[in-house]
Amino acid sequence: MEGDFKRLTIEEVRALLRASVSEAGGQKAWAGANSVSETTVCEVLRGTRQPGPRVLGPLGLLRMEPSYALNPFGASASEARA
């Protein structure tokens, strides 16, 4: 399923937000139109906060995080017993 999605970097997400904010007439207008605090919008744009669903949704985005990673140290003791 992950192959069906185009992955974006956080910089690309911020660029999309910046463009959307500009189109809306500024951070206050975008925040009000999307029921998000102006502080949140500012912090996401500055990079001091990660965008959550209330910022991503209006941009047509969703957060996708990796679920699992290969353990470089091998199986744990509990997995070895299974």
Residues of the chain with pLDDT under 70: 1-3, 66-69, 76-82
Domains: count for the chain: 1
Distance (Å) of CA 28 to CA 10, 40, 47: 22, 11, 18
Residue 57 lies in a domain: yes
* Per-residue buried b or exposed e for 48-76, using 16+ beta carbons within 10 Å of the residue's own CB: eeebeeebbebeebeeeeeeeeeeeeeee
CATH of the domain at 37: 1.10.260
**pLDDT tens digits, residue range 14-37?**
999 999 999 999 999 999 999 999
Is the overall model pTM greater than 0.85, yes or no? no
Strand (E) or helix (H) holding 26 = none
